[in-house]
């Protein structure tokens, strides 16, 4: 008998059958991670919200094409990634940076100067990530922030595994180089 916990069972089959309660549960489970992923890529809150909504609309329309219910999360992130790529193509490379950091101070921090330093470092790091080409940025965000495996990222982005590995390697290398040159 295995001591590993059972994975969360998602009501994908019920959602496919059109049960609104199942879609509500899936929305609650994935809306925040999807928003975080999309916002990391487009850096504009209203656009991110629109893209997450469009992702769920497409998921509802195309749930019948999902062959393996256990891969629902990756499939959903794949839809979001496709919508982000379409957005980049329409809007061009330049995207508004939007609100990079929350302006409200953390009252539990011992020293306000530490908050300023951390905010400046975070802002500088986000600016460096923003300079990456969108395919490298997407792979980096999916792997580091959303914790998808390289195989899952390949499925989400539609890129071969070798390409995903290459993009991640180049993104990390560029960030390392820029961090060494930057006074973070």
CB-count exposure of residue 134 (10 Å: 0-12, 13-18, 19+): middle
CATH at 115: 1.10.10.10
What lies within 8 Å, CB to CB, of 151 at 6+ separation is 161
Higher local confidence (pLDDT), 183 or 154: 154
The predicted model scores a pTM of: 0.60
How confident is the model over 104-112, as a mean pLDDT?
A: 42
pLDDT of the residue at 108: 41
Number of domains in the chain: 2
Q: Do residues 111 and 181 both lie within one domain? A: yes
Q: What angle do CA 148, 152, 156 make, to 5 degrees?
A: 105
Residue 152 structure tokens: 């899952």
List the domain range (segments joined by +) for residue 29: 8-99
Q: Do residues 95 and 113 both lie within one domain? A: no
Q: Which of 73, 99, 125 is the endpoint of a domain?
A: 99
pLDDT of the residue at 177: 85
pLDDT of the residue at 120: 57
Instruction: Report yes or no on 107 lying in a domain.
Output: yes
- Distance CA(109)–CA(115), nearest Å, equals 7
Q: Do residues 81 and 33 both lie within one domain? A: yes
Q: Do residues 126 and 151 both lie within one domain? A: yes
Confidence band (pLDDT; 50, 70, 90) for 124?
A: low
Q: Do residues 160 and 91 both lie within one domain? A: no
Confidence band (pLDDT; 50, 70, 90) for 144?
A: confident
How confident is the model over 41-52, as a mean pLDDT?
A: 90
9 pLDDT higher than 90 = no
Residue among 99, 97, 104 nearest 127 (CA): 97
pLDDT of the residue at 100: 31
């Amino acid at each position: 008998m295995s001591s590993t916990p059972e994975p969360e069972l998602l009501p994908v089959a019920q959602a496919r059958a059109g049960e609104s309660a199942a879609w509500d549960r899936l929305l609650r489970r994935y809306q925040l991670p999807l928003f975080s992923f999309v916002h990391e890529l487009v850096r504009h809150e209203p656009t991110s919200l629109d893209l997450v909504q469009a992702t769920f609309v497409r998921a509802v329309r195309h749930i019948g094409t999902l062959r393996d219910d256990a891969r629902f999360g990756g499939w959903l992130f794949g839809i979001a990634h496709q919508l982000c790529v379409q957005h980049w193509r329409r809007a061009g490379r330049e995207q508004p940076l939007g609100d990079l950091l929350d302006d409200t101070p953390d009252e539990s921090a011992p020293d306000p100067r530490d908050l300023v330093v951390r905010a400046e470092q975070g802002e500088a790091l986000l600016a460096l990530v923003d300079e990456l080409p969108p395919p490298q940025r997407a792979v980096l965000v999916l792997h580091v922030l959303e914790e998808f495996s390289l195989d899952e990222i390949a499925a989400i982005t539609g890129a071969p595994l070798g390409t995903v590995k290459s993009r991640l390697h180049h993104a990390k290398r560029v960030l390392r180089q820029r961090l060494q040159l930057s006074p973070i």
